[in-house]
A and B are shown apart, each in its own frame.
Chain A
Amino acid sequence: MIKAEWFYWLIAAFFLAVGFMVMRDQTNPKRWASGTFWGLLGICFPYSGFVESGHAPAWPLGIAVIAIALLAGTGQLRSGTAEHTTAPEERERLADRFGNKLFIPVLAIPVVTALFATVGKDVKIGGQPLLEPGSETVIGLGASALIAVLIGMWVLHVRKPSVPLHEGRRLTENIGWAAVLPQLLAMLGLVFATAGVGDAIGKSAQHILPSGSLLAAVVVYCLGMAVFTIIMGNAFAAFPVMTAAIGYPLLIQHYNGNPGLVFAVGMLAGYCGTLCTPMAANFNIVPVALLRLKNDYSVIRTQIPTAVPLLACNVAIMYFLAFRNH
């Protein structure tokens, strides 16, 4: 059986390799601290596997993560000045040579991922599923990345595996600490949940709600989902809280709404919040780094004009369609 854990080990190896290359990079003014950042991250990944399976305590990982955050937060993470890649003129020349063949490795990623998601998850070998159940997406994306590298090296006549490794390191250094931010935010979400932030917000939502108005209840539920998602960065964290505070007791029990509709649209109202928050770093901050945008909030800024009317649509859909039998 192919396990997701293998790909986390692969990520770990990649981070360790990046850390090693960074430490050897003379053009990096903080090569030791920067290399430590990536190396420490590399060690955290396999260790996390033992934490998840209950074979190791979680607190050493907590300390390591705080160390990683401090390294990045105090400006110790830098990248080298030398660009280990081709110059623009050379790229024009290579584009002349390879033409549309360049798309083959990139298109291999969706094709292989789709194969894993559709056919792969049903394959059984000796009664055992080929892919670890519940991890098909992680395995599919990891495996397609590996297969695409091999196809890329073949199509583009690259013999040395160090070439894609260096390019990967270049892009990873470009992203910098934004690569770990989504995980840090997931940690924060867990602390928020344990410390009772959700209950506090749910109670305040109940307080501001005027009684006797269906429209007000729908608006507070949808708006609450969006606002709570903006705070937590994740609609999945907001859903149980807002549903326990308003969705279930008021919209379902009191106003007798259609549960499937109320819950589906409530979740999507939360997604409108995801479009507006830096807390959803993997969607809104990582692309800023990947596309090398100047302003950290560029992506969010272009999403707000879609998110606001869409939230209004969700309120309208719920108000007009969920309570029609009464």
Chain B
Amino acid sequence: MLVLLGVLLVVVGFALRLNAMLVVTVSGIVTGFLGGMSPMDILNAFGTGFATSRSIVIFLLVLPVIGLVERCGLQEQSRRLIGKLGKLTAGRVLAAYLVVRQITCALGLLSIGGHAQSVRPIVAPMAEAAAEKKYGRVPERVSERIRALAASTDNVGSFFGEDIFVAVGAVLLITSFVDATYHFKLAPLQVALWAIPSALCALLIHGVRMLRLDRQLARELRDHVPDDEPAEEQGATQVAAPAKGVTG
């Protein structure tokens, strides 16, 4: 049970907002010692852990092309496009992305979206522009929230879409683990099938939250005076804010 002190160290470190790199390294070393590992064991575990997890970083290869198109005005163009599509609100942009992300992941196309390749260049600027179209320049706090929600939507969509696909890591991990340990003969399809009810719940919960976002923004920004519109037109903008979505 002593090794749980290492876990406590991580929790306290993150809670105190110490530098995450230091927290993780120190906790790793401490946990290793508490668990009876020698310094050599710990160094070997660090090295092996780094070597076998390299695939997480492959998304960085996308950054040069994203930077290139951003340099030439991609985010600006994403905003203009939203300006032309009158019916699109921030909430609807995000809800639509949730549906697309979940369906494509369920078809096994996990890495066609992601924070570097779709959220930063397209989804976040579009959602933000949809809000700005209605309210003018929004306060920093609102813009931060909308961008964070764009990242959240990508996570929820991919987590609760990918497990429906039979050949995905999670499903294969489940079947290979229980088959080897408990001598089951579990077909991947039996596991993937039962990911569907949770996926529908995720779609419903997060989708409704996104659609409610528009009403929250309308409420929060009721008294907000945008920089680029005369103040006396505020009343009209406010009434025109859509009150669609679920009650609450």
Contact = CB atoms under 8 A, between A and B. Distances in A.
Contact of A186 (B20, B49, B206): B49
A287 B110 contact: no
A66 B20 CA distance: 13
Contacts of A10: 61
A52 B149 contact: no
B109 interface: yes
B154 to A, nearest CB: 8
Interface residues of B, number: 118
B27 interface: yes
A65 to B, nearest CB: 5
B221 interface: no
Given A167-B71, A236-B170, 8 more contacts: A44-B50, A110-B112, A110-B117, A185-B24, A191-B28, A268-B159, A306-B152, A313-B205
Interface of A: 4, 7-8, 10-11, 14, 44-45, 47-49, 51-52, 57-63, 65-66, 68-70, 72-75, 85-86, 91-96, 98-100, 102-103, 105-106, 109-110, 113-114, 117-118, 135, 137-138, 140-142, 144-146, 148-149, 152-153, 156, 158, 163-168, 170-172, 175, 177, 179-192, 194-197, 200-201, 203-204, 231, 235-236, 239-240, 243-244, 248, 252, 258-261, 263-265, 267-268, 271, 274-275, 278-279, 281-288, 290-291, 293-296, 298-299, 301-303, 305-306, 309-310, 313-314, 317, 321
20 contacts: A8-B58, A58-B48, A62-B43, A65-B46, A73-B22, A86-B72, A106-B65, A109-B62, A117-B111, A148-B62, A148-B65, A152-B65, A167-B64, A188-B28, A275-B155, A278-B20, A281-B20, A291-B151, A298-B144, A310-B202
A189 B48 CA distance: 11
Q: Is the interface of A mostly helix, strand, loop or mixed?
A: helix
